[in-house]
């Protein structure tokens, strides 16, 4: 394994920005110091004028394998992740078949061990019928990120609305429980009422059908269960101002039993964008009115919201370019999530330190990930170098998702990911001369482990 010495780089870590040297050896960060003497065996990377961040950890992605590989694969989406500075991901169970048994869960780990360029973990899925099987995951709590419950519309048989099942999982799970919260009855009633008023629905109707009340009521139910049993609950992709009253910033993250995540698209788009993007930004929960976006930003910056993620959910172009009701819900985002947040840094809305806190440190702390999420001596060398003096234009040719499209196509971000290290290997580098991406696929990512 190569030894790397990154010189004179501005390290963004644990709320501080300092110029340091970083020595990477045997897959880990061996030394951090103001000046490290040149090691004759080290490959020198000049970091002058650039920034070093911990590798991002995305706690919510859909990489579609097995069974839905016409949309994406673990290989294709992990490659896109690496190019975007995401070095670890946690993937959801709604594949085909869904990960509802221990055997199916381990089969996904086996696929990732052979193909993922990033580090990985997978959620165990819950149905109305598999509570006992789910609770077997307690025995693997050091090697599985958590349990996922869809408390709203989902694919297959993953909607969980049986209160006996929910009570069983919330009372007996030793692992973090992550929830998708939208109330199915409210959604169905909204759809029925809307269809009485208009015959042809359109993308802008999506937040009317999947409205604030549907999100709030479901999140409220999940939090009631968590408080009843003192469960470790993480509510995914908060999208409404109303839900924010259910969470608090009165405790440090390490003491919270109930945490919350916000996704980049809910921080970026509003209902005004449906006229331009239409089904391309159809997702669940829906992108909503602008006052929700403003409230989400405020809650993120004051630590009511704990984590920034993507809910990366690619679909084939043909699955999006159909009438609204047939269009699949989900957006491919992971390649550009860091660049998007850096654009908000350039707008002076969020600091670099806060970006690192929400996309690296907090995810590692929330899930108790072992030796990742920080730039510390002895930690795995999952590292990202960014250049804030360069731009990145999103084109059809440089989109790495298997689906081949992005809502950001045609846009230019005021930053560039230049290097991505995974476990000390330089897996991605941007060649400034040829303007091409260079990947080293000779090593694969590792299964995440947890301090539980």
Query: Which helix (H) or strand (E) covers residue 184, if one does?
Result: helix 184-197
CATH number of the domain encompassing residue 25: 2.30.40.10
Structural domain count, the chain: 2
User: What pLDDT digit, counting tens, does each position of 116-143 carry?
Assistant: 999 999 999 999 999 999 999 999 989 9
Between 41 and 55, whose confidence is greater? 55
- What letters, b where the CB count within 10 A reaches 16 and e where it falls short, cover 172-183? ebebbbbbbbbb
Binned at pLDDT 50, 70 and 90, residue 39 comes out as: low
pLDDT of residue 198 exceeding 60, the answer is: yes
Residue 397 forms part of a structural domain: no
**CATH number for position 68:** 3.20.20.140
pLDDT at 1 over 90: no
The answer to the question of residue 266 being in a domain is yes
Helix (H) or strand (E) holding 192: helix 184-197
Do residues 344 and 209 both lie within one domain?
A: yes
Query: Residue 154: what pLDDT?
Result: 56
Q: Looking at the domain assignment, is residue 400 inside a domain?
A: no
Above pLDDT 90, what percent of the chain?
93
Q: What is the pLDDT of residue 153?
A: 62
Q: At what angle do helices 184-197 and 212-229 cross, to 10 degrees?
A: 170
Q: How confident is the model at residue 41 (pLDDT cuts 50, 70, 90)?
A: confident
In this structure, the strands spanning 124-125 and 119-122 are unpaired
Are 147 and 40 in a shared domain?
Answer: no
Structural domain boundaries enclosing 387: 3-52+379-391+412-439
Residues 179 and 78 grouped into a single domain: yes
DSSP class of 217: H
What is the predicted pLDDT for the residue at 258?
A: 98
- In DSSP terms, 28 is beta-bridged to 25, 380
Q: How much is the pLDDT for 289?
A: 98
Q: What is the pLDDT of residues 250-287, one digit of tens each?
A: 999 999 999 999 999 999 999 999 999 999 999 999 99
Mean model confidence pLDDT for the chain: 96
Residue 189's pLDDT is: 97
* Domain co-membership, 384 together with 362: no
Q: Within this chain, do residues 130 and 163 fall inside the same structural domain, yes or no?
A: yes
Q: 86-91 and 119-122: which strand pairing?
A: parallel
| Span 380-436, pLDDT tens digits | 999 999 999 999 999 999 999 999 999 999 999 999 999 999 999 999 999 877 678
**pLDDT for residue 356 is more than 80:** yes
HEC assignment per residue over 334-368: CCCHHHHHHHHHHCCCCCHHHHHHHHHHHHHHHHC
pLDDT band at 3 (very low <50, low <70, confident <90, very high): very high
Q: Is residue 399 part of a domain?
A: no
Do 427 and 278 lie in a common domain? Answer: no
pLDDT at residue 188 above 80?
yes
* Mean pLDDT value of segment 142-171: 87
Residue 9 in domain: yes
Residues 350 and 387 in one domain: no
pLDDT tens track for 200-249: 999 999 999 999 999 999 999 999 999 999 999 999 999 999 999 999 99
Instruction: Look at residues 334, 367, 400 and tell me which one is the last residue of a structural domain.
Output: 367
Are both 18 and 117 inside the same structural domain?
no
Give the residue-averaged pLDDT of 42-68: 97
Report residue 246 as tokens: 């259910």
Looking at the structure, do residues 323 and 430 belong to the same domain, yes or no? no
Placement of tokens 């405790």 in the chain: 251
Q: Are residues 119 and 13 located together in one domain of the fold?
A: no
The answer as to whether 274 is a domain residue is yes
Average pLDDT over residues 6-18: 98
pLDDT higher than threshold 60 for residue 155: no
165, β-bridge pairs: none
On whether residue 451 sits in a domain, the answer given is no
**94 and 193 in a common domain:** yes
With respect to residue 346, please indicate whether it lies within any of the assigned structural domains: yes
Query: In this predicted structure, what is the pLDDT of residue 435?
Result: 72
What would the mean pLDDT of 311-327 be, rounded to a whole number? 98
For residues 330 and 430, membership in a common domain is answered with no
Cα angle, residue 191 at apex, residues 292 and 167 outer, rounded to 5°: 75
């Amino acid at each position: 394994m190569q030894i790397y010495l990154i010189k004179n780089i501005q390290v963004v870590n644990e709320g501080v920005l300092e110029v340091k040297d970083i020595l990477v050896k045997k897959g880990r960060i061996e030394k951090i110091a103001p000046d490290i003497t040149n090691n004759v065996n080290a490959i020198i990377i000049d970091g002058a004028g650039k920034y070093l961040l911990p590798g991002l950890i995305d706690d919510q992605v859909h990489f579609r394998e097995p069974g839905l590989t016409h949309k994406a694969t673990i290989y294709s989406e992990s490659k896109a992740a690496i190019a975007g500075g995401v070095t670890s991901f946690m993937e959801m169970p709604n594949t085909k078949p869904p990960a509802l048994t221990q055997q199916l869960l381990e089969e996904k780990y086996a696929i990732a061990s052979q193909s993922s360029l990033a580090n990985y973990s997978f959620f165990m899925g819950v149905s109305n019928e598999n509570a006992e099987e789910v609770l077997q995951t307690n025995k693997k709590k050091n090697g599985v990120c958590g349990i996922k419950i869809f408390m709203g519309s989902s694919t297959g048989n993953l909607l969980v609305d049986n209160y006996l099942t929910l009570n069983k999982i919330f009372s007996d799970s030793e692992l973090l429980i992550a929830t998708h919260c939208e109330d199915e009855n409210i959604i169905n009633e909204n759809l029925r009422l809307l269809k009485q008023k208009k015959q042809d629905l359109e993308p802008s109707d999506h937040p009317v059908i999947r409205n604030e009340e549907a999100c709030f009521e479901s999140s409220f139910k999940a939090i009631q269960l968590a408080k009843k049993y003192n469960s470790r609950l993480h509510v995914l992709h908060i999208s409404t101002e109303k839900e924010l009253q259910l969470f608090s910033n009165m405790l440090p993250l390490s003491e919270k039993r109930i945490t919350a995540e916000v996704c980049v698209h809910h921080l970026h788009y509003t209902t005004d964008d449906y006229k331009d993007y239409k089904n391309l930004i159809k997702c669940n929960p829906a992108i909503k009115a602008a006052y929700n976006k403003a409230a989400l930003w405020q809650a993120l910056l004051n630590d009511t919201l704990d984590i920034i993620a993507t809910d990366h959910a690619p679909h084939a172009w043909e699955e999006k370019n159909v009438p609204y009701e047939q269009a699949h819900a989900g957006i491919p985002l992971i390649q550009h999530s860091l660049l998007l947040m850096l654009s908000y840094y350039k707008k002076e809305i969020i600091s670099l330190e806060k970006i690192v806190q929400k996309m690296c440190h907090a995810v590692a702390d929330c899930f108790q990930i072992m030796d990742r999420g920080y730039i510390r001596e002895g930690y795995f060398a999952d590292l990202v170098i960014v250049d804030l003096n360069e731009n990145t234009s999103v084109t059809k040719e440089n989109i790495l998702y298997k689906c081949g499209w992005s809502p950001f196509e045609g846009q230019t971000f005021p930053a560039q990911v230049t290097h991505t290290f995974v476990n000390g290997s330089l897996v991605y580098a941007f060649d400034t001369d040829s303007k091409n991406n260079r990947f080293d696929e000779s090593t694969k990512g590792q299964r995440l482990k947890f301090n539980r």
